[in-house]
Chains A and B, each alone.
Chain A
Amino acid sequence: MSTDAAINTGVSDDAHEHHDHKPSGFFARWVLTTNHKDIGSLYLLFSFAMFLTGGAMAMVIRAELFQPGLQLVEPNFFNQMTTVHGLIMVFGAVMPAFVGLANWMIPVMIGAPDMALPRMNNWSFWILPFAFSLMLMTLFMEGGGPNFGWTFYAPLSTKYSPDSTAVFVFAVHLMGISSIMGAINVIVTIVNLRAPGMTMMKLPLFVWTWLITAFLLIAVMPVLAGAVTMVLTDKYFGTSFFDAAGGGDPVMFQHIFWFFGHPEVYIMILPSFGIISAIIPTFSRKPLFGYASMVYATASIAGLSFLVWAHHMFTTGMPVAAELFFMYCTMLISVPTGVKVFNWVATMWRGSLTFEVPMLFAIAFIVLFTIGGFSGLMLAITPVDFQYHDTYFVVAHFHYVLVSGAIFSIMAASYYWLPKWTGYMYDDYLAKWHFWCSLISVNILFFPMHFLGLAGMPRRIPDYALQFANVNAVVSIGGFAFGLSQLIFLVVVIKCMRGKGERASAKPWEGAEGLEWEMPSPAPYHTHTTPPEIK
């Protein structure tokens, strides 16, 4: 490898030489690693494994819903599938994928040699496999795993939940601890380890969006920890936070949960904005339009996210004044979000566009995320939300935002940086197949869900009225197709990792800018050991 060659030439000082060796042996290399690139890779691989696991559960859900009647699973197991699918996708797939991207790219992008707290970094990753093993284990316990929805509303999750709830609570605590440690690491790295001359307003947008995301994580993950702790004590230790009999209130659970939950939604989309803001300029060969307004828009979305939580609870019976307040605040979020979309379009405008796979995913992201944004705006309107709430319209909305939004952006990022990570170009032919299959099937999967919701199909039901049969069959076919399409991605990634394919140059994308493209591909094990010069 090029790094080893560099050592052999003996130009570097002793310390440098010592550090440049990769630890030998699987255990020392991966389990004890403190290297941000190794940990980043671990995060990414883990999240992909979780994506396939959660996806398999989605396949069970769609298979059961293929036809009316109960065919494959009984309703209690169906509820476990929807719950664990949600938890795994949110906490196991999307969030770790972003943390993985942050680990890999942030030090490289800001000219830092590693993350600021490398040992904590190791710990925050290795907690996750344990957390998710526990979570998945509950499915095999007597009484089954969590079956109360990923939102675990009390009292369904307290008085009426299965015995495995304690394990669920513990697993969520672990995930929270992991996320919080990851977030602290990101903030300290960005604040303290920037190369000289890398001022805040020179930071790539991916770094900026992650900085804001990290603050959101620190603010809300502890609140989630509080919520699950209250569920735990209510269920096992006789407190009555959410039990009217003891002076508590079940609606209060929803306030606490969504105080975490809404910022959480932005935690899962802000890094996407950063990724798209890196990819669109590259393949437009044109600088990003409105860098400063992008930063301000991200910050204002994050700020507003603390003022809109109750729009998830319009039907709980709030006073009109509160309903109006939360409706207005929610509508307001569409302004900065709109600014972002306009900026991306303006970046493409009069550029010199090419359509490599990362760009294809990025364009699909813009279109489909905007559709999800529109349905979000519709959901914000309180009187109409009474009709949409808890129907498939909501399911369609958040899957547009999270699958064709967050997950498409992660795919785009993977294709964009795979050459840098592995040193090999991805198989373009397979990648294009992956893109077109995903794009078409994701729309067959989620677009008709809007109609199901408008026609009155509630979410989280294992069986439905006959009138919904046609559309559900189409949706299920879309679901299976989308699931299968992701296997193509698996092949592409494995090919790159095993070194099959074209060698990647240091900068495989003509229009790319940033420090990561100024180092060889694959990126050496240690980079920026001496701070780079910032132009």
Chain B
Amino acid sequence: MSQLNLCLLRWQWGCLLVCSMLYATQVSAKSMPFNLTEGVTDISQQVYDLHMTIFIICCVIGLVVFAAMFWAIIHHRKDKGAQAAQFHENTKVEIIWTAIPFVILIGMAIPATKTLIAMEDPSNADLTIQVTGSQWKWHYKYFGHDVEFYSLLASRQDQIHNQKKKRENYLLEVDYPLVLPVGKKVRFLVTSEDVIHSWWVPAFAVKKDANPGFINEAWTRINEPGIYRGQCAELCGKDHGFMPIVVIAKPQEEFDLWLAAQQQKAIEAKAEEQTMLAMSMDMDEMMQLGEQVYNKHCAACHQPNGEGLAGVFPALKGSQMVTQDVAAHIDIVVNGKSGTAMQAFAKQLTLKELAAVIGYERNAWGNNTGDVIQPAQVKAAMQQKDQ
């Protein structure tokens, strides 16, 4: 009776598993690889080979041990009339099964050591990227090339909260991806502004912790052009799951063009700043732009409704700073507040965006101060400090 029940039980479980699999496949069509990526660098290929070697060795050992065990389970059972032998030691056997694993381990350690030394070879980098993590975005700086930018999650809050359909690369897409040349040795100088993050791109087999106050190095040489995606791999607070990494690898000539264009853009942006100063936004324009900026940069902590999270992130709705003291409000958005998660947005946003978001906060969610903030005001507040 109980045997039958057990059979039934297993059958039911099998059905449940199959059903759940079927159900799940309907949710999304994009398939997941079931093994480690081979990646697009020589190192990542070596890592993959090492992974497979050790995996197969483990499988073989497991097979032998479990075969012996299940042989005993099937043949040496009491209900088959098995009489228990009484042996309880055998020095020779015990030495053998201590020695054999030892030899296997040495066999594993040799290729592992070689790969590790190749990974940590510090010589002759062609390009240096300073990678800086902060809660919860990456900042990239091309060392010696005057190009730097922040890279933020591009999936929107309404996708995260299931109000809009999620895009194909949901949570693995950023606004400004890192662009790297193919075939050149790239060096990453990794550090952090606040907590520990970890910069990980599986296709390069690079994972390096970003430690505040210290720099770490990692190297890669990409073999194929393409788009490669990764994520922060060290718990770094609330939005740890929302700070992806996207790298676009381009052939050298394309990369050079891109880099030149970025340098040009940086110059143009400075010029544009001048025109912005003369610009004046009306309430509607400010609120529209402000809302966009707010949702992208501020809503993760202060929440889309401006109410923050009690005890963690302060509310903006009805807050004294936001409804009254304009100067302090501009100051905290522009310069951040040390020792907290509030960061300086001066370098992350344009003057117009800064003005819009500050103005938006002063008028949204019933704050209704009626203040319209202009880029020139923000600039003036910054300059006050510079003088």
Residues of A whose CB lies within 8 Å of any CB of B are 67-71, 74-76, 79, 141-144, 147-149, 153, 155-156, 159-160, 162-163, 243-245, 249-251, 284-293, 315-317, 320, 323-324, 327-328, 331-332, 334-335, 338-339, 341-342, 345-355, 363, 366-367, 370-371, 374, 377-378, 381-384, 386-387, 389-391, 429, 432-433, 436-437, 440-441, 444, 451-452, 454-456, 458-471, 473-474, 477, 481, 511
Contact = CB atoms under 8 A, between A and B. Distances in A.
Interface of B: 2, 5-6, 9-10, 13, 16-17, 20-21, 23-25, 27-28, 30-37, 43, 46-47, 50-51, 54-55, 58, 61-62, 65-66, 68-69, 72-73, 76-79, 82-90, 93-94, 97-98, 101-102, 105, 108-109, 112-113, 115-117, 119-120, 135, 159-162, 166, 168-172, 194-196, 198, 200, 202, 205-209, 211-214, 216-217, 230-242, 309-312, 339, 341
B192 to A, nearest CB: 9
B33 A384 contact: no
A316 B218 CA distance: 11
B207 A76 contact: no
Nearest to A83: B235
5 contacts: A69-B160, A285-B84, A315-B234, A317-B214, A469-B28
A3 B235 CA distance: 56
A456 B112 contact: no
A293 B94 contact: yes
Residue from A351, A433, A471 having most chain B Cβ neighbours under 10 A: A351
A316 B209 contact: yes
Given A289-B87, A351-B76, A244 B213 contact: yes
Given A352-B84, A382-B116, A389-B207, 9 more contacts: A153-B234, A315-B208, A327-B116, A350-B72, A351-B76, A371-B62, A444-B17, A454-B36, A474-B24
Contact of A67 (B27, B43, B68, B241): B27
Contacts of B115: 383
A473 B213 contact: no
Nearest to B74: A353
Contacts of B98: 335, 338-339
B310 to A, nearest CB: 6
B89 A291 contact: yes
B76 A350 contact: yes
A452 B200 CA distance: 16
A146 B71 CA distance: 48
Contact of B116 (A160, A320, A342): A320
Contacts of A324: 113, 116
Contacts of A320: 116-117, 120
B89 A290 contact: yes
A257 to B, nearest CB: 12
B231 to A, nearest CB: 5
Contact of A384 (B51, B217, B230, B237): B51
B212 A156 contact: no
B214 A251 contact: yes
A317 B209 contact: yes
A209 to B, nearest CB: 18
B68 A345 contact: yes
Contact of A390 (B21, B37, B169, B234): B234
Contact of A454 (B34, B73, B82): B34
B205 A383 contact: yes
A250 B210 CA distance: 11
B311 A352 contact: no
Contacts of A463: 160, 171, 241-242
A378 B235 contact: no
Contacts of B217: 317
B34 A473 contact: no
Given A244-B214, A317-B216, A477-B16, A339 B84 contact: no
Contacts of A386: 47, 119, 205-207
Contacts of A243: 213
A160 B237 contact: yes
Nearest to A244: B213
A465 B78 contact: no
By Cβ-Cβ distance, the 3 closest A-B pairs, closest first, are A244-B213, A143-B311, A461-B241
B350 to A, nearest CB: 28
B238 to A, nearest CB: 5
Contacts of A332: 105
B88 A382 contact: no
Nearest to A454: B36
Nearest to B66: A367
A335 B20 CA distance: 39
A390 B230 CA distance: 13
Contact of A470 (B6, B32, B90, B237): B32
Contacts of B205: 383, 386-387
Nearest to B218: A317
Contacts of B309: 74, 76
A24 B112 CA distance: 64
Given A350-B84, A389-B207, A464-B241, A338 B166 contact: no
A355 to B, nearest CB: 8
A452 B34 CA distance: 7
A384 B76 contact: no
Contact of B6 (A163, A286, A334, A432): A432
Given A286-B85, A463-B241, A149 B235 contact: yes
Nearest to A435: B6
B47 A348 contact: no
Contact of A387 (B51, B195, B209): B51
A163 B312 CA distance: 9
Given A153-B196, A334-B105, A473-B27, A292 B34 contact: no
B124 to A, nearest CB: 18
Contacts of B235: 79, 148-149, 153, 156, 459-460
B41 to A, nearest CB: 12
Contacts of B236: 156
Contact of A287 (B88, B196, B339): B88
B50 A384 contact: yes
B30 A451 contact: no
B175 to A, nearest CB: 17
B65 A341 contact: yes
